[in-house]
A and B are shown apart, each in its own frame.
Chain A
Amino acid sequence: MSEVILDVHGIAYSYGAVPALGGITFQVRPGEMVAVIGPNGSGKSTLIKCLNRALRPRVGAVYLDGRDLWDYSLRETARRMAVVPQETVVEFDFTVAEIVLMGRQPHLSGLFRREGRRDLAAAREAMELTSTLHLAERLVSSLSGGERQRVIIARALAQEPEVLLLDEPTSHLDITYQVEILDLLTYLNRLKNISIIAVIHDLNLAAQYFPRVILLSGGRIVDVGPPERVITTPNIRKAYHTEVLLSRHPASGRLLVTPLPRRRAGEASGNPRPAVHLVGGGGTAAGLMEAMFCRGWKVTAGVLNRGDLDWEQGKLLGIEMVEIPPFVPISDEDHCRNLALVKRADCALLANVPFGQGNLRNLYALQEALADGLPVFLVDENPIEERDYTGGEATKVYKRMVEKGACLVPSEASAIEAIRGRFAEGLTFSG
């Protein structure tokens, strides 16, 4: 077996004159699990159909185990590759056992193509693996959606394939069954080393279950790679034309995708959407960042070290930041870039952050902005004295800023409220 089981080489497909897929190139190694994601009409089904021979690409080629897919007989293809289609017709009185045995079709030979012991054994194993053995005598038409999908997967397994292609195997199912099916696929992938390529509608499930994802948009690949590299705010915005909130689950570190309401909705209701420059570090600003981002505010962030929790959050949200390498103090140049960002904002917000020599210049930047007349809000959950590791310098600057009119707020929530109130007023005055 070669290193690459499926080699998709620059394929394109058009329905009549309407191009649906173009310049698709990627490779799948044996035992890989790949999710295909993308908005409706982005060509996911078309891609799957080009891989399973339902459609023949106009350009390019698909190589299965080093040989052009279309050089195989259909029988040979079906012995190596199984398909779980998007729609499954079940309105007939076949039993589960009969349906699963139909998966042996490409393996049957001889004049009467009788199923032998080997075929029964394969079908039985497929039913055991998918926990459908107890359903053997039931009519497929009488099953629940989740059970039916497991039966269709059992039929695919009975083919003893090396590659399994699935088009939205979980879309019609409720969340329990979605998880059940994806757990099953993961299990089969590990147990049998089957390569799995599945169209997955739900970005969270794709990120959770698939080590590799392909993001399609308009029939082209936007990005391929591990979910944390592909499912990013800019990529999703580009592919789906929608805003999402990306975050990491605090305990598991898993990627979480939350779609956000369309910005227009916020505009229409007259909510203010100020541009806020945020200064934080060490995770003190992550919550604020998310809260403001969700409101559709334009957020920028002041000097942050790469790898810092706030920096990570900013990356996920696709926020513009001044970033510097880890454990490096803020240089003159970084300071200037930070000042430039602050000046573009409508106001600045300082998170409840501790100050040391490394980040003291962030505080100077805010002081300068305040002097230029920019509203500055200071989250004052803990007194500045407790957060000052500069030997009093930070406290001095902080106090002076308060005297010059910086607004002290006791918590993150009140910071958001204060900024909102301030700019809502601004709206009424100008309107």
Chain B
Amino acid sequence: MTDGVARKTGRWALLSPRTRKNLSVAGVVLTLILAWELYKLIWSSLGWIRPVRPDDVVMPHVWDMVIELFRPVRRGGNLLILDLLVRSLWTLREAVAGFVVGGLIGFGLGVLFVRSRLAERAFMPYVVASQTVPILAIAPMVVVWGGAIGLPQWMAVAVIAAYLTFFPVAINTLRGLRSPDPNSLELMRSYAADPSAVLWKLQVPSALPYIFTALKVSATAAIVGALIGELPAGFQNGLGRALLTFSQQFAVQSKKLYATVIICAAVGIFFVGMVTLAERKFVPHRETLEPEGEMLARASAGG
């Protein structure tokens, strides 16, 4: 990382912002791995056991976690990574379904609230209150009710993911829809624009950066919701189940748990990455629109 800072005035500044960002992310990951291994090395050579015992059960080597992915789950079974990838698809399905439904509900609420102060005053307290109830308390209820009305298990889990998704989207949509300059709204008024024209031509485009910020938060939240939702649902096929099983067997095969955690993180990163790609497509940023040359000139002038 210090390397990156030092180069900032030199070659670093010449890289495109995207490359710079990717390099920073890689730097962070490498730093974390390095910190993990260094801790292990120093603590075990000095015989320290606090705060965490640096043995191979509690803190396996990073490469051992990765190697574990390519071992069979059980004797004669599939490779762990294959098993986890199949589980990822199940969990992703729940998360994506919940994300889409929750996102739409959140957007709808944002639009409703910006249109009607009355609706905002009437429902906003409930929207906020909904998030004060811990998800762990909600999940079993949703599963029970979902079962009662004949919802497939995975859909019940999706409902939980939606529950975590809609809130940030609703709040940010509302903020974004309120973000246009008052003069812009007055211009719309002077064109005698009807409310839907104001919404789609001014407010929604202005809100897109806000909405995507929320969607990125929600993408992770939807995965968390799906993982947590799988537990009370007794859903056997997803990553949540694998996390539970392996954590119960932590003492004997901690590497499997860590490997699963890595896959969970990868799934989260993948999902957020997809949302980020969509953002690049739908939210034209100045940086990406600017001709490359000007950007370089500015970057080197600004230092």
A associates with B: no
Interface residues of B (CB under 8 A from A): none
Interface residues of A (CB under 8 A from B): none
